[in-house]
A and B are shown apart, each in its own frame.
Chain A
Amino acid sequence: MKKRTFREWLKAWDEGEIDFSVPGPGCPETPGDAASSGDAADDRPAPKDDAAIRAYARRFRDREAALFRRIYPVMVVLIVAVISVFLLRVVTELPPFGSADTPANSSETIRRYLEDGLSETGAVNVVAGVILDYRAFDTLGESHVLFTAACAVLILLLSSEKQSDSLRVREILEKDAVLHTTGRVLIPLILLFGIYIVLCGHLGPGGGFSGGAVIGSALILYSLCYGPERVRKGLNLKSYRVTVLTALLFYSLAKCYSFFCGANGLETIFGPGTPGNLFSAGLILPLNLAVGTVVACTMYGFYALFTEGTV
């Protein structure tokens, strides 16, 4: 029998290759022998029976764990220190905040966006103009990434069985007077704020993604306070699928049309309109609505699937 490491011994024993009733080479003849050789037995595989092997394995594992515990904090501190030094050096090289000669200001593309963005897209909020007009393709991809993630979570977590634990927790929550009263005051405000962010994405800060996240968190809060059945009246699995797919299809078709008509994002049915009006900036408002719908549904869908196993 050839010499093996301890791991190979364990593997061989696991596969039933070794019969321990016959003492092999490298094995101590008697238990007393192993005891007399003391700590030296640690380095040499000396398994006699199940208990001895288990004890040996435990000692081996403990030794590895101890080594890991000792190295881990040292490595963490080292890596964090190195990264911090690099980042701090980069920070000292940055141009001062708001200065005229930052790379962002001196780029030709950025100057075009800032100077002609308002007249070309009709969006007062230039960020919305860039995101949903000049760079609408990126936002389309982002929405599809979210949709794909939601599909994956749906496939993984969708289950028909009721989860007893969440039911128990929900019973406690639904009786909570503080939660109910706070929810009654807060949820309409949060929903209203989210809708405002989505609708005024082209006029002020915000847009489809942030507004959708706010609406999604309002839905989560509503589901926490009053139970998911109430949400399910308006948003069940079927209407969830239909809503998200419609929003995504609308976005894709609108952008296909825009690419079809010159691919520069300027040709829309509505035209830029009067900057500053709610109904202006061409397709930006409907696109914001579509993105907001997708994001709100996805956020709520994640929560519902993680807690209930269904939307």
Chain B
Amino acid sequence: MIADVAELLLLALLVVCGIAACASKNLMVSLIIFMAYSIIMSIVWGLLKAPDLAVTEAAVGAGVSGVLMFVTLNRIRRIRREEAKDDEETDI
């Protein structure tokens, strides 16, 4: 009974996280929500008796891919900043 309620709660959270990750304006925020989504998904895998997938999802989805996307975001921002600087210099 409690397990059923917990599973339904987790599934509802999955949907909420999915929509929130798409709807948030800030890319950083949607990345963090995406990582939260991966953590919830790994718990759901565990409840579905697929511990292999749970471990992989937690390590890859929430860990490595999140970090890689953070790094990419940082790079994009740096490129934008440099472009803005270049524009200012040419304007002067």
State the Cβ distance, A311 to closest chain B Cβ, in Å.
14
Q: A-facing mask of B51-63, CB < 8 A → 1, else 0? A: 1101110011001
Q: Among A214-222, A252-260, A272-280, which stretch is in contact with chain B?
A: A214-222
Q: How far is the CA of A169 from the CA of B70 in the complex (A)?
A: 13
Interface residues of B in 53-80 (CB under 8 A from A): 54-56, 59-60, 63-64, 67-68, 71-72, 74-75, 78
Q: Contact at A213–B68, with CB atoms within 8 Å? A: no
Q: Contact at B67–A217, with CB atoms within 8 Å? A: yes
Do A210 and B56 contact each other (CB < 8 Å), given the known contacts A217-B64, A217-B67, A303-B67?
A: yes
Q: Among A114-122, A181-189, A201-209, A283-291, which stretch is in contact with chain B?
A: A201-209
B16 at the interface (CB under 8 A from A): no
Of A127, A214, A216, A303, which one neighbours B71 at CB under 8 angstroms? A303
| CB-defined contacts of A204 to chain B, threshold 8 Å | 51
Q: How far is the CA of A165 from the CA of B54 in the complex (A)?
A: 36
Do A302 and B52 contact each other (CB < 8 Å), given the known contacts A213-B60, A217-B59?
A: no
| CB-defined contacts of B72 to chain A, threshold 8 Å | 306
Q: B-facing mask of A171-199, CB < 8 A → 1, else 0? A: 00000000000000000000000000100
Interface residues on B, range: 10 to 19
Residue among A169, A206, A213 having the largest count of chain B Cβ atoms under 10 Å: A213
**B49 to A, closest residue via Cβ:** A98
| CB-defined contacts of B71 to chain A, threshold 8 Å | 303, 306-307
Do A209 and B64 contact each other (CB < 8 Å), given the known contacts A306-B72, A306-B75, A307-B71?
A: no
**B59 to A, closest residue via Cβ:** A213
Main DSSP-derived SS at the A contact region? helix
Q: Contact at B55–A205, with CB atoms within 8 Å? A: yes
Q: How far is the CA of A299 from the CA of B74 in the complex (A)?
A: 18
| CB-defined contacts of A216 to chain B, threshold 8 Å | 64
Q: Contact at B55–A214, with CB atoms within 8 Å? A: yes
Do A299 and B51 contact each other (CB < 8 Å), given the known contacts A210-B56, A306-B72?
A: no
Interface residues of A in 3-30 (CB under 8 A from B): none
B48 at the interface (CB under 8 A from A): yes
Do A97 and B55 contact each other (CB < 8 Å), given the known contacts A165-B78, A302-B68, A306-B75?
A: no
Q: B-facing mask of A133-174, CB < 8 A → 1, else 0? A: 000000000000000000000000000000001000100000
Q: Contact at A206–B68, with CB atoms within 8 Å? A: no
A-B contacts besides A213-B56, A220-B63, 6 pairs, CB < 8 Å: A127-B52, A207-B52, A209-B56, A220-B64, A306-B68, A307-B71
Q: List 9 A-B contacts (CB under 8 A).
A: A127-B52, A169-B74, A205-B55, A210-B55, A210-B60, A214-B55, A214-B59, A220-B63, A220-B67
In the complex, the 4 A-B pairs of residues with the closest C-beta atoms, listed nearest first? A205-B51, A213-B59, A217-B63, A210-B56
Mark A residues whose CB is within 8 Å of B. Answer: 97, 127, 165, 169, 197, 204-207, 209-210, 213-214, 216-217, 220, 299, 302-303, 306-307
